[in-house]
Amino acid sequence: CAEMPAEAPVPPPAKAAGPSTSGPKGKADAAPSGDGKRKRIPVPARSVRHLSLGVGNNAALVARVVLSRPWWRMAKKPKAGTRTTGEEWSMRWQETIQGINYSLLGAHSQQVVGHLPNNSAICGKLNLFRNIYEYLSSKGEDPYQFLPVTYCVSEPHEMERFKAHHAYISGKTVPSKLLSKRAAQHAPRPKEGEECRNMWILKPIGLNRGRGISVIRGPQECKSLIEAARDDKRLRKGSLKQWIVQRYIENPLLIDGRKFDIRAYVLIKGDGDCFIYHDAYLRLSSVPYTVASTEQDVHLTNNAVQKHT
């Protein structure tokens, strides 16, 4: 079995409800009644499920919620020096896909993990762009009717195309051999009026929570920020190998003058059918939107960014 990442500390069960710490296994668990007193809820042994918990990604919160169900227990931790995952678990919650051996899942009982195999195909910024681009192209659709113009500036030829595209919008002379199809077909012709700021957004491929993301105004700023990020000891070096720039939407839809995004959950089946969880929610920036600023708290709605404003 593949070695799993480290285990997170097990938080105490929620006070409102949780597995009992005493009594015969599989017999009963305590849960609150309507008058606040605890009553016994029978839980047959065959119905008991075990949670295996990794570190990070709100592990403690997940444990509190899951363990509030009387039929859930924490899986026993593996013995030190072994490559086993410990007690057979029903669900594994961990921050990354590392160490998950999908070929062994469900060999003896039903098991689920919090990551899809090959999820980098849709979770990575560059892979997501390329896969949607290829899919739409195969269907005869124009990808840029759905996707922002994107360049992987870690690749020299893509950086040159980005420079040419930026210069094209700025109204500067650009050699025709440098003008990519992306710029020729999908960039508005030079000087789109005074409202156009020729803004782009720079993103590292391997980071989340808004880290390393910047709104920029040109190729030189792009290069400077990439070099500065590589010298930043707070960022994982392996996550800074690839960068993309995308044409920024300068006139986004706003709510009360602020940027927002919609978080909705969708389950897509293998046959293409999908189920939408309708109770979506909005995330808003705490600072009014303006193209005069390139500060993160104006342009990014990530919780990790907004909680510091």
Is residue 201 within 8 Å of residue 246, measured between CB atoms?
yes
Is residue 179 within 8 Å of residue 235, measured between CB atoms?
no
Residue 144 makes CB contacts below 8 A (sequence gap 6+) with 182, 185, 186
What is the per-residue pLDDT for 183? Answer: 58
Cα dihedral 250, 253, 258, 259, rounded to 10, equals: -70
Q: Which of 223, 208, 12, 9 is nearest to 124 (CA)?
A: 208
Is residue 159 within 8 Å of residue 220, measured between CB atoms?
no
Instruction: Kindly report the pTM of this predicted structure.
Output: 0.73
pLDDT in tens for each of the 309 residues of the chain? 444 556 666 555 544 444 444 444 444 455 555 555 556 577 888 889 999 998 887 899 999 999 999 999 999 876 665 555 555 899 999 988 888 888 888 777 889 998 888 888 888 899 999 999 999 999 999 999 999 999 999 999 999 999 999 998 888 765 555 556 665 555 544 445 556 789 999 999 988 888 899 999 999 999 999 988 888 777 766 677 899 999 999 999 999 999 999 999 999 888 889 999 999 999 999 999 999 999 999 999 998 899 887
What is the per-residue pLDDT for 189? Answer: 46
